[in-house]
């Protein structure tokens, strides 16, 4: 579980005009199937006889079977967890994202052997569109009845029969595809023979033409999304079924005074009131604040139990202490409470059990901790150091999506050189991810990626504490 390893960096250029010139990098989710098996000559035949996914299509909602469900609005981490759990059935998954401009293009999970793509909103990292791009690789049904399988071709007649009437198809001359749209569901048809196309040519006057789709045309692609238009669709709010008893953060505001951060105000989302009452469960929004100096018990009663408790190893920090060789007398270590679904870690002092640090995680792909935390959607008000005159103070806010060069324009450049963070996993000391740089300013440490995005922000309480590197992910 939980091994996302970048194995190869294949430059990939999307053909679509939208993404033109954008470089995607490709990595694979390594699963327990040994990597070598991908290159054995036996594999192609295994693929041929492997079980084909048999999935139910629910327009505007999901693609699912008895064991799992890819639901619109689902967080990326949950979709990856499904893929990891069922890695023997869903064998090849590519993760595609733009390394340099990760917010400009959807993050894509490509289930290459099943002909399915899951498109996630680049900002909120929730499932936006489910695309089946190769219908020969899956069986599909609607209301329990197949409309696509080895025996049933997904022709226009079949789709009419299974889904009923809708508006006439729309022809897109550029793609040479007919689109048939239902609410939350679209089919693209390709003509079987090109000689049929010219018949419709005179109608192209306005670029798009409403037409009867020719007989025998078969579905080339299918899309599931929210609303009436695939082009304008957005990832919906997280469905109730995705909460699974967890608390999520809609947004996190950093509270501060003139000198630096004081605490966090979290807008929390919960659902369900316990087992058995899911039927009338609904999402509740709660606002909670936590501050530096709060006790561990305060935090537990405010946020609930963490997903993990991680004890810092004393050894790493010893070198920075005045007498590194001196044996630490007690076995006490400072400890983190890791709230993965909030995207927040909280560090407690080993002896006082009071909050010492907060760490906010942005979950950008390509980072060492990618997919461990949900993205924390934070806002940090900045005090402007420019100009010097108090009257000139501009309100600026740093968010999860801010880039480091813009942040510096507001808060000035750090005096000290950055600390380079080159993480390594405990199992194997090689780190396939690029190093990050840590800059300290105004009692905050910004961990900056090579693409200028912020990977994490560590917030400190009252001054006087030694600077430390951001939290390590819990050891696996």
106-125: contacts with ligand NAG (CB under 6 A) = 108, 110, 112
| Nearer of residues 63 and 96 to ligand NAG, judged by Cβ | 96
| Nearer of residues 270 and 425 to ligand NAG, judged by Cβ | 425
401-440: contacts with ligand NAG (CB under 6 A) = 428, 430
Residue with tokens 């807008």: 267
- Per DSSP bridges, beta strands 185-190 and 177-182 are antiparallel
Nearest-approach distance from CB 107 to ligand NAG, in angstroms: 11
Nearest-approach distance from CB 164 to ligand NAG, in angstroms: 31
- Interface with ligand NAG (CB under 6 A), residue total 6
| Nearer of residues 109 and 337 to ligand NAG, judged by Cβ | 109
Nearest-approach distance from CB 96 to ligand NAG, in angstroms: 5
Residues 224 and 63 sit within 8 Å (Cβ to Cβ): yes
Residue with tokens 């959607």: 377
Closest by CA position to 242, among listed 265, 269, 277 = 269
Nearest-approach distance from CB 24 to ligand NAG, in angstroms: 7
Nearest-approach distance from CB 269 to ligand NAG, in angstroms: 31
User: Residue from 4, 57, 76, 96 that binds ligand NAG (CB under 6 A)?
Assistant: 96
For residue 464, how many other CB atoms are within 10 A of its CB? 6
Residue 20 touching ligand NAG (CB under 6 A): no
| Nearer of residues 11 and 285 to ligand NAG, judged by Cβ | 11
Residues 56 and 149 sit within 8 Å (Cβ to Cβ): no
For residue 206, how many other CB atoms are within 10 A of its CB? 7
For residue 213, how many other CB atoms are within 10 A of its CB? 21
Q: Residue 440 and residue 422: Cα distance in Å, rounded?
A: 17
The residues facing 358 across adjacent strands are 346, 459
Residue with tokens 């909050």: 355
* Binding pattern for the stretch 51-90 against ligand NAG, x by CB under 6 A and - elsewhere: ----------------------------------------
Residue 246 touching ligand NAG (CB under 6 A): no
| Nearer of residues 110 and 442 to ligand NAG, judged by Cβ | 110
| Nearer of residues 108 and 398 to ligand NAG, judged by Cβ | 108
Region of 255 (left: φ > 0; alpha: ψ -120 to 50; beta: rest) is beta
The residue range among 104-112, 210-218, 376-384, 408-416 that interacts with ligand NAG, by the rule CB under 6 A, is: 104-112
Nearest-approach distance from CB 76 to ligand NAG, in angstroms: 16
Q: Return the half-sphere exposure (C-beta side, CA atoms, 13 A cut-off) of residue 350.
A: 12
Q: Residue 249 and residue 269: Cα distance in Å, rounded?
A: 6
**E strand segments, 392-435:** 396-399, 419-421
> Which structure tokens are listed for 143?
């209301």
Nearest-approach distance from CB 139 to ligand NAG, in angstroms: 18
Nearest-approach distance from CB 42 to ligand NAG, in angstroms: 19
Tell me which H or E stretch contains 212. none
| Nearer of residues 111 and 376 to ligand NAG, judged by Cβ | 111
| Nearer of residues 8 and 406 to ligand NAG, judged by Cβ | 8
Closest by CA position to 451, among listed 101, 103, 10, 105 = 101
Contact positions vs ligand NAG (CB under 6 A): 96, 108, 110, 112, 428, 430
């Amino acid at each position: 579980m939980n091994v996302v390893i970048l194995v190869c960096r294949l430059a990939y250029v999307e053909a679509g005009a939208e993404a033109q010139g954008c470089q995607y990098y490709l990595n694979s989710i390594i699963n327990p199937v040994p990597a070598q098996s991908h290159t054995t000559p036996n594999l192609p035949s295994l693929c041929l006889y492997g079980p084909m996914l048999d999935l139910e299509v629910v327009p505007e909602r999901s693609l699912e079977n008895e064991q799992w469900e890819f639901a619109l609005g689902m967080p990326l981490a949950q979709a990856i967890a499904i893929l990891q759990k069922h890695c023997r059935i869903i064998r090849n998954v590519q993760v595609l994202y733009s390394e340099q401009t990760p917010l400009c293009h959807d993050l894509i999970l490509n289930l290459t052997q099943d002909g399915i793509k899951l498109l996630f909103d680049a900002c909120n990292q929730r499932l936006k569109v489910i695309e089946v791009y190769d219908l020969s690789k899956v069986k599909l049904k609607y209301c329990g009845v197949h409309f696509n399988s080895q025996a049933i071709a997904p022709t226009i007649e079949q789709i009419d029969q299974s889904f009923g009437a809708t508006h006439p198809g729309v022809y897109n001359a550029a793609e040479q595809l007919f689109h048939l749209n239902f609410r939350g569901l679209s089919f693209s048809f390709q003509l079987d023979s090109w000689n049929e196309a010219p018949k419709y040519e005179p109608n192209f006057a306005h670029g798009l033409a409403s037409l009867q789709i020719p007989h025998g045309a078969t579905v080339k692609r299918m899309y599931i999304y929210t609303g009436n238009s695939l082009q304008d669709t957005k990832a919906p709010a997280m469905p109730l079924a995705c909460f699974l008893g967890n608390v999520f953060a809609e947004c996190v505001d950093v509270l501060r005074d003139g000198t630096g951060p004081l605490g966090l105000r979290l807008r929390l989302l919960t659902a369900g009131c316990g087992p058995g009452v899911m039927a009338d469960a609904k999402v509740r929004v709660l606002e909670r604040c936590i501050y530096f100096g709060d006790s561990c018990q305060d935090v537990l009663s405010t946020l609930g139990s963490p997903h993990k408790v991680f004890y810092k190893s004393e050894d790493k920090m010893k070198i920075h202490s005045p007498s590194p060789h001196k044996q630490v007398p007690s076995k006490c270590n400072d400890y983190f409470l890791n709230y993965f679904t909030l995207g927040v870690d909280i560090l407690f002092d080993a002896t006082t059990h009071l909050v010492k640090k907060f760490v906010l995680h942005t979950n950008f792909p390509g980072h060492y901790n990618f997919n461990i935390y949900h993205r924390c959607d934070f806002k940090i008000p900045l005090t402007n150091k420019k100009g010097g005159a108090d009257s000139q103070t501009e309100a600026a806010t740093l968010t999860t999506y801010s880039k480091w060069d813009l942040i510096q324009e507001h808060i000035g450049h750090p005096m000290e050189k950055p600390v380079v963070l080159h993480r390594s996993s405990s199992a194997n000391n090689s780190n396939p991810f690029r190093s990050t740089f840590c800059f300290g300013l105004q009692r905050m440490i910004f961990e900056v990626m090579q693409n200028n995005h912020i990977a994490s922000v560590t917030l400190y309480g009252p001054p006087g504490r030694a600077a430390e590197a951001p939290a390590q992910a819990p050891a696996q």
